[in-house]
A and B are shown apart, each in its own frame.
Chain A
Amino acid sequence: DAGVTQSPTHLIKTRGQHVTLRCSPISGHKSVSWYQQVLGQGPQFIFQYYEKEERGRGNFPDRFSARQFPNYSSELNVNALLLGDSALYLCASSLGLAGRTLFFGEGSRLTVL
């Protein structure tokens, strides 16, 4: 069975641009969470989606948005990119809202120049 897949794996953007990152959860998993991991730090929670609805939001500016589709895949959008947005963006899926085990993808490495 396929694990969590994310695309693209690497991308380079310039300040002010926007980016869309994509995630496909493990088959049967209905909850998707997004995390930002800056070099040298642990993952920081951005969003949790379940059944296409936002169920949790971390302390990130409104430039960050996400959505979940009927097939449970998800997109993370970041507008007006800043240098500080450079990070590894991780997607994690779990069976349900209360699932304690997160299954992570390999991440999308975003570099903002």
Chain B
Amino acid sequence: TQLLEQSPQFLSIQEGENLTVYCNSSSVFSSLQWYRQEPGEGPVLLVTVVTGGEVKKLKRLTFQFGDARKDSSLHITAAQPGDTGLYLCAGGISGGSYIPTFGRGTSLIVHP
């Protein structure tokens, strides 16, 4: 069974602060996705990383896939209240059905 551990579980910060969320596993993944989920809604995809060591940027969000494709991080620069939500990482193995395993998520609250 593939397990994804996310840390921290909860994060409460002030607007303008920087933060990093981690996603770790003992398993190797073909690709890893980061989703954001807001209350009362389903998760929405932010990014997919595929290559070990890959870095992707989405405005103030920077995503990195570990060299061994077992871990990933999400860094947010100058957080804004609109960044508030549950951040989920999900990893999967390509070949046949792609059925990602999700972590428990990091709940982020950004206070104005």
Contact = CB atoms under 8 A, between A and B. Distances in A.
Given A40-B104, A42-B88, A42-B103, A92 B31 contact: no
A98 interface: yes
Nearest to A107: B42
B42 A41 contact: no
Q: How large is the interface on B (under 10, 10 to 19, 20 to 34, 35 or more residues)?
A: 20 to 34
Q: How large is the interface on A (under 10, 10 to 19, 20 to 34, 35 or more residues)?
A: 20 to 34
A48 B98 CA distance: 9
A36 to B, nearest CB: 11
Interface of A: 4, 33, 35, 40-45, 48, 50, 55-56, 90, 92, 94, 97-107
B97 A45 contact: no
* Of B35, B48, B98, most A-chain CB atoms within 10 Å: B98
Contacts of B35: 104
Given A42-B4, A45-B101, A98-B96, 4 more contacts: A35-B102, A42-B6, A100-B92, A104-B43
A43 B41 contact: no
B84 interface: no
